Structure 1
Amino acid sequence: MSRLSSSRSSSTLSLNSSVSSSITTPDSDSEITGSVGNHVSPLNSSDSFILVTGGLGFIGSHTSLELLKAGYNVIIVDDLSNSYHNVLSKINTLAARYCSQQGLKLPTLHFHKLDYRSKAMRFLLESYSTLVPTFSENSGEFIKIQSKISGVIHFAAFKSVSESIEKPFQYYRNNVCGLVDFVELLGKHKIHKFVFSSSATVYGSKAAKGERLREEEVVHHETLYLDDFNNETLAEPSVSGLTSPYGRSKYFCEAILADIAHADPSWRVVALRYFNPIGCDPSGLLGEDPKGNPTNLFPVIAQVLTGSRTELDIFGINWNTRDGTAIRDFIHVTDLARGHVAALSSDIESPFRTFNLGTGNGTTVAEAVKSLEGASLKNIAVNLAPRRIGDVGFCVAANDRAKKELGWTAKETIQQCAKDLWNYVNQPETALSFS
């Protein structure tokens, strides 16, 4: 998540020869030019990088790790408004451990503490760019910008549904306005591969029909597709029932990116619609540890298990489901992270493409609670509460497109998610934050 920072300090953390950390949030152009140049020298390497905004957050940190394990050099940009700096060393430790076990060279990891909307981003992108003399038969010799950043994965966004209702300006300014300026800046540096962190919330009230959600149900330009009966069908742009500024911000961002890619087909934009990310890296070193009170189901359950909350609120027990509680598509965050790597490495011909990232299977909230009771061998106190406005009883992904076009599928079970979370909660450092 990205927020404006007031810090004016600059420092460098060197974890090992493969990691450099540039902590810079200046207010003037001259300060950022000097600090980026002094702390990081990316142009000494002939290798390309993947830029990850919000790369120390829950999903961002796991994705950064999976990118390193897949052999990508990574630049993380995060302002630490909803994450912690020590996550950087954990990512590097796990990547180094994996590479050592596999006999692989550890890729390069750079970190910059800054808001992705700040002036500093322009100078950071310039520091990873070079000017290349190029000859054209039509116009003769000219200078071409060549960036060492071959792709961007964009996580830096506010993500609380309830907070977005209270602070809509903040969400639209960061999530939507920030994206417009950022993508325009990337285009100026000839960086056209962009993976966007979207959400199943873009489906709005379409989720209320109680069927698996297909990408064609929310499109931004007319699209031909094959339906379940193999008939060619026209999908037209439409949306209904978006219940929060957060959900609308994700929809708006998708629409903007689709328009940009439509106008300039050199873009390759992938929007990944997440369902319900849970779990954490099996090592127990990475997990979901937001600043402030968590609102997602599994971290809240963890607080109940550790005693920092007395009980878990379950909203609605009279849904038309097997036990009366709502059904959700819970996906292990490592599976989700690998979906980003698959999207980044895919050779998609379309300038803009959306993909659901979910298991395709539904788990009730009560079943999710039982999975954590099984992992922890503890009982979880619950409070059965009325349904909330805007809630739906069934929200599950149709993930056929991701399987076919990305070669990706989720592998981990709800039981493994619960086991990994409980392992994370029981780490000494983590236990303090949940107490």
Structure 2
Amino acid sequence: MIPRGQTAVSEAAQEIDKLMGLHPKGFDLSLDRITRLLDVLGNPHRKLPPVIHVAGTNGKGSVTAFCRALLEAGGYSAHVHTSPHLVNWHERYRIGVKGGRGQLVDDAVFAEAVRRVADANAGQHITVFEILTAVTFILFSEHPADAAIIEVGLGGRFDATNVISDPAVSVIMPISLDHQPYLGDRVELIAAEKAGIMKPGFPVVIGHQEYDAALDVLMSTAERLHCPSAVFGQDFMAHEEYGRLVYQDEFGLADLPLPRLPGRHQYANAAAAIRAVKAAGFTVTETMMEKAMSSVEWPGRLQRLSEGRLLSHAPAGAEIWIDGGHNPGAGEVIAEAMANFEERQSRPLFLIIGMINTKDPVGYFKAFAGLVEKVFCVPIRGSEAMIDPVILSNAAYDAGLVAEPMSTVGDALEAIKAVADPEALPPRILVGGSLYLVGDVLADNGTPPK
């Protein structure tokens, strides 16, 4: 069996597929197994370049992308670890290139690292995510780079990446409710888990926080651990002015182009990245910031599909956007972005949504009340945890939206084509609710991340 979303049977995919059959899926939050395994491997996590360690409910992928863009704009090489992948496992590991753009890991190198880690584990109880995290440390310790940007998988305190004891900087992005069975059902409990990546005496950057309860936990933890901290809205900030991004911190002010990533929420994400890269000890010039705002990329997050096979199923001239945000907090920022698009160009908005059963669909859908013509709910291919499209349609209905279940994204696009008003502007279509669904769309469209 090929792992979900994999478009071709690569050598590394085959090795990971073997592990998927041997070890439990999902999460089992603990540091004991990964610590034991890393010890057998010679503790590669202690041989990394300066680490920017990123946690948060929303925005951690975007701030990771901005950090990478900033460093590469300055000629630095930056390894990048993210999860989950959208189409190919290789997306989780970008190897830094001095003076250039980091490249997804070579398949043979990746496969060999997976084999080495699996052999070192010797069949002992472990999760696949922990093995793949050990692969991160193997790859990033054995390829020279100026920095390593490592995104937390789930939570923080007991996430497998949290064996890093001396980060150049820890970054905590916006916190809201998600993964409640693992992290708690109140934002302050979730904040405490995310704050677990802070290490005594090492710098911390706290991104924009919607909830005061979360911010209080993060600030008090940083104070208790004597971490030099920078807090969005207090020590650094960013806002739009005359179509430009104005960034300010204690070091000065910069007048920058708006980020290439759409949505006002990206202003705060860009600001957190700038402050984080500075806190990690790198010189950040205004030229670097300008270049980064124009070059940053983050597939599957408010990404517009401008080419590919699926476009033929949509109405002519339609805008198709994809975004893997899947919790109420993500729904709010995505809906705000769609509303801002609407201010500039009025188009009817349709949603094509698939979700898994650990999420809050009603909370997600409520953010779109009053914006959406209709929601089409679809299954997520190969997912045992998907919400049945009929049940998901009922959740959309409970949030005040008109909804209908469909069999595939292509069918939903054809349904939108059938109801689109030829006298009006072509519709705007958002496909999302799950990174897994977005990965399937990118694979089916023939436009995987590179």
Common topology (TM > 0.5): no
Higher strand share: 1
TM-score where L is the length of structure 2: 0.36
